[in-house]
Structure 1
């Protein structure tokens, strides 16, 4: 009976170890079927098998209460009992370590998952998939992430008054979290200034002063701002070193080029704006430099191809035009587009 009690104690020790290993196994993502899953499952089964064996042995000895079991001396049965009692604490310690390790691995996976989501969350703020519906205008947009983790391309669309609509697109030099933070600041500061000043050139001058005062001389920002005035029937445009926008007006495609230098280059830089008539059916196409700089060998996709696609089918829906442009650039390039690309098209309807 004493040996039966010893076997029962051993069964409890091994059972506790098996329970910890089972918790460790279940915490591991079983869908991956990696080494950690296989090892944890194997260790659990080994411990569970041993616990079951001692449980059966304890039950058999307790029931029979005999000095031998199937001819096996009780002294031989006492040996594994002694081993379990002697090394049981070590087994429990190892099982506890395995459980803690699996917990740390799960937390590490969660952190990595958050790191992977961060660029997408930033991109959703800088270049949202959904833009507001604006009466009297048809809007298309595309954002394509490059090979970097995070970048500084952005666009924006909002009313500055009941009859004035602002469209903005920009690109901060560099990649990473710093470029994204700067893009975020530029985007939302410009919202304030475009509501404060009717002329987008004045808004750019104020934005440039504000950014220069923050000491961001190592980060350059290209930006184009367009203000549609429905009452006046005009479009007013200002650009800080941004690639040319293309305007479909009066049955022709014309470029709207930069009207001042990149932001933060010179805190006292001057910007001008240009105003053109706005008719029903007119469309303006804005994009960041990643589109024109798509490369096939030594050849660039280029501004002329962009203008040619607009000229070929100026009546195409704005959203279809944006998607066609990004697909054409991808087909042209011999590798994945390395830089982020943002495209924004607005048509007066």
Structure 2
């Protein structure tokens, strides 16, 4: 018999035992060499699997540390959000945040940083800092994105960018203002189930430092909801087929009577089901409802 250790440099993981069924033919030669090779490959596979799990846990912790612990509580509004990282080990680039402005309106930002990994996390932190530092002084969404773009264009690595949408919600007067920097357009779901697109255009942040951004305004009646999301929601895939806007809109219309948090959870559950439980991109959605 021969005992072959399955080990890394740091520890013994297991032992591979090879027994000869013929007493006159001891284990050795090419058999031992093959066993050593297999043991080395097994050790590497086990070590990589452990490392993958550790990296994934670390990535999720980093990502979530940049997200709000809970939505704010504001008169006349109900809020919910949901985030889920993809099955990839790298840190994703989705970020969102809330800020109450001095006039009582709520500013909501949701962005998607190009790429994955540590660099994406640094850009996420920059996006959150830009929102927190500029949104109060630039209360119009278009003006905010223009100011944010100047900062991002001067700081982000060449060839990289951030898509972002900002919503400013006036619960008292029933209005939502929106500007977008290359981000998927928010959905406005009216009390009767009609779904409208809040279409605001503009290049992603960091592409052109002189870019202007249009502010689009829409009525926000009682019982309506507005939904911001990242492309990982509608681009969730099953055998190459996208989850798509039509399914997303249908889900929002069908679930509109639920609380915003339940709507966000339903959207995540639908995307998980569509992808057989394994998201291929980060999922982020923010749902705001004007109370009846």
TM-score by length of 2: 0.77
The equivalent of 1:141 in structure 2 is: 81
**Cα distance in 1 between the residues matched to 2:270 and 2:53:** 32
Deviations 1:16-51, CA, capped at 9 Å, x for gaps: xxxxxxxxxxxxxxxxxx84799xxxxxxxxxxxxx
CA RMSD of aligned residues (A): 2.3
**Cα distance in 2 between the residues matched to 1:215 and 1:290:** 22
In the alignment, structure 1 segments of 5+ residues that lack a partner are 1-33, 39-110
Deviations 1:311-349, CA, capped at 9 Å, x for gaps: 223212111111111111111124611111111101011
Residue 247 of structure 1 pairs with residue 188 of structure 2? yes
- Higher Rg of the two aligned structures: 1
In the alignment, structure 2 segments of 5+ residues that lack a partner are 1-10, 16-50
Q: More helix per residue: 1 or 2?
A: 1
1:224 to 165, 172, 175: 165
How much has 1:115 moved relative to structure 2?
5.3
TM-score by length of 1: 0.65
Residue 318 of structure 1 pairs with residue 263 of structure 2? no
**Cα distance in 2 between the residues matched to 1:281 and 1:321:** 14
1:170 to 108, 111, 118: 111
Q: Secondary structure at the match of 1:257?
A: coil
Deviations 1:154-193, CA, capped at 9 Å, x for gaps: 1111201251111111100110010111011112212222
**Cα distance in 2 between the residues matched to 1:327 and 1:228:** 27
Q: Secondary structure at the match of 1:175?
A: coil
How much has 1:262 moved relative to structure 2?
1.0
The equivalent of 1:294 in structure 2 is: 236
Which structure carries more relative contact order (alpha carbon 8 Å, separation 6+)?
Answer: 2
Mean Cα displacement is larger for which, 327-336 or 266-275?
A: 327-336
**Cα distance in 1 between the residues matched to 2:289 and 2:277:** 32
How much has 1:215 moved relative to structure 2?
4.7
Deviations 1:224-256, CA, capped at 9 Å, x for gaps: 100012344321111111112110136321011
How much has 1:294 moved relative to structure 2?
0.7
The equivalent of 1:342 in structure 2 is: 284
Residue 124 of structure 1 pairs with residue 72 of structure 2? no
